[in-house]
Structure 1
Amino acid sequence: MKPGTFTHHAPRTLEEALAILAEVSNDEGRVIAGGQTLVPAMALRLARPNHLVDINGIEALRRFETDGAFLHIGACVRHAQLASAPVAGPLRELLRAVMRHIAHLPIRTRGTFCGSLANADGASEWCLVATTLDAHMQAQSIHGMRTIPAADFFQGYMTTALAPEEILTGARLPVLGPDTRFGFDEISRRAGDFAQAMCLAVFELQGGLMRQVRIGIGGVAGQALRAPQAEAACDGQPPAAALFKQVAAVAARNVEPTIGSSEAELDYRRALVRTSVERALARAARFTP
């Protein structure tokens, strides 16, 4: 199939894009950057926008730099660029490790980090990263800019706090210190498929003990989830395989999968969570900065 008719807008500045979106947002106006979800949906007539505001020509939205405390990722930064993020240390290695799991090469070279956040799929690797690291998203409209923490930004399956007239202009990830360890695990049927379950585990190793533990889980619900009970079970403990097995069981017991049509499938998802959390923690313990 082919998409329906639409008007293509190609602003050259952010101010121009915001003004256009303010005019067309109530007339099925949509923003497009990578288009890796929107374009296939349009081809199948599952999405029929009357206006596309194409932000690819806006140089300011290609910002990709660190100020020492945060890594700033503009709306037009592609997935593949995260493999060589302009930041040293564990955060760069984390982004490189996660990026390899995103779909396939053509999608990674065209799709964008912020586009993935705005799409807010519960199986999105970048949504898991943003949730686990407490990222902050920058939304802008003709009325000004606001910063939205990940905990408030993601509001369910493909639902965010963005208003129709707002553009997600960028995201900020905290730079991770040299004592940070991380581990990422993803379970899918085939390489490049949507995750059935995944886990990102991050902690600081101080005096041989785990501190500032963050455990994020994705692929099992409408949005990525934190695992506070599992985080608390790790905090202040030395890394150990037996502990990781116990913590993974805690995470599996407390997770509430929403993807699945039967109790058997929900139990299967919990089992995947247990495996993924245990693997991610073990990889974090082995990580060498």
Structure 2
Amino acid sequence: MKARAFAYARPRTLGEAHAAYAGAQGDASYISGGQSLVPALAMRLQAPQVLIDLAGIEALRGVWLDGGVLRIGALTRHAEALTDPLICTHAPLLAAAAPFVAHPAIRNRGTLGGSVALADPASEFPAMMLAMDAEMEISAPEGTRRVPAGEYFQDLYQTAIEPGEILVALHVPAVGPRHCWAFDELARRRGDYAMVGGGILAECDGGIIRAIRIALFSVGPTPVRARGAEQALAGRAPDAEAIAAAQRALDTDIDPLDDEEVPAAMRRHLARVLLGRLLRQLEIAR
């Protein structure tokens, strides 16, 4: 199939983008990298009257460190998470997750902001926002606001972004010398959507986990914090006993849906296996 005919706008500022959306009376879609929207247009799952291209807005670009918080512009491409020195140094979970995202052609075009705005529950970057305790900067015609990741992801493909609003940047607390991290996912083939995946960011001291955030994806309609597993690990070394306790606690943290390809029971089992792998990576890294 081919996309239906649409008008095209390429604003240079956020104000122009909001004006274009208002001029279309809400019958418009924003596009950045286009790796999710273009297929949806081709299959006519979406058919906006106006396509608003955000690629020319400089306010959505750039990566810089400001007072211990890394600001990542929404137009930062997936591939840049692999190479940008600030991301690799201060937000290493993004760098660890990036190689698992689809394939190089998609990583070269897709944007971090596009992934987080879409909030696909099987995607890597939204879950890493939760693991890193990031805040999303959102622009509306009346101004901007920041929304913590824990409040941003609301339901399947639903976020705190209201119609017409634009995700401007991701604000990530920079890791410190006591932080350690791990990322992994289980998929049938490299580049496929993961059957289950996750990332861990922990603060360790003398081999003991003082604080930990575990975020899983492909286990529910949104990225999921494994809070029970976190509690089972706090104040302990990630040894075999602690890992087993965290795996047991994980059963109450996730409630995956059944589907034909991966039944819920299988996804639970894979989540426990994955958590063990992540924690063993953490033990090596500490």
Q: TM-score per shorter chain, which class?
A: over 0.9
Distance (Å, rounded) in 1 between the aligned partners of 2:10 and 2:92: 35
d(CA) in 1 for partners of 2:2, 2:24:
22
User: Alignment partner of 1:172: what SS?
Assistant: strand
Match of 1:21 in 2: 21
User: Contact 1:22/1:141 (CA < 8 Å) preserved in 2?
Assistant: no
Aligned equivalents of 2:72 and 2:149: distance in 1?
A: 14
Match of 1:274 in 2: 272
Cα contact 1:114–1:168 (8 A) shared by 2: yes
Assess if the C-alpha contact under 8 Å between 2:137 and 2:169 holds in 1: yes
Question: Structure 1 residue 185: deviation in Å?
Answer: 1.4
Residue correspondences, number: 286
| Range 144-153 or range 98-107, more displaced | 144-153
Q: How does 1:1-40 map to 2 (within 5 A)?
A: 1-24=1-24, 26-27=26-27, 29-40=28-39
C-alpha separation in 1, matches of 2:127 and 2:78: 14
What root-mean-square deviation, in Å, do the aligned CA atoms of Structure 1 and Structure 2 show?
1.7
1:1-289 correspondence runs (5 A): 1-24=1-24, 26-27=26-27, 29-87=28-86, 91-260=90-259, 265-287=263-285
SS in 2 for 1:199: strand
Cα distance in 2 between the residues matched to 1:88 and 1:12 = 26
What is the CA-CA distance between 1:89 and the residue it aligns to?
7.0
Deviation at 1:257, TM superposition (A): 0.7
Counterpart AA for 2:77: R
CA distance in 2, matches of 1:77, 1:101: 17
Q: Aligned-pair distance for 1:49?
A: 1.2
- My pick for the range that moved more, 17-26 or 269-278, is 17-26
Q: Does the 8 Å CA contact 1:134/1:149 hold for their aligned counterparts?
A: yes
- C-alpha distance 154-239 of structure 1, shift in aligned 2 (>3 A): same
* 8 Å Cα contact 2:128/2:199 also seen in 1: yes
User: Does the residue aligned with 1:267 lie in a helix, a strand or coil?
Assistant: helix
CA separation of 1:208 and 1:284: change in aligned 2, threshold 3 A: closer
Residue type of the alignment partner of 1:280: L
Structure 1 length-normalised TM: 0.94
Unaligned runs of 5+ residues in structure 1 are none
Runs of 4 or more, structure 1, over 4 Å off, are: none
The sequence identity of aligned pairs, in percent, is: 38
Q: In structure 2, do the counterparts of structure 1 residues 141 and 200 end up closer, same or farther at CA, with 3 Å as the change threshold?
A: same
Distance 1:138 1:259 in 2: 34
Alpha carbons 1:182, 1:281 under 8 Å: kept? no
Q: Aligned partners of 1:18 and 1:169: how far apart in 2? A: 13
Given the superposition, is the C-alpha separation of residues 253 and 142 from structure 1 closer, same or farther in structure 2, using an over 3 Å criterion? closer
Question: Unaligned 5+ residue runs, structure 2?
Answer: none
Tell me the TM-score normalized by structure 2: 0.95
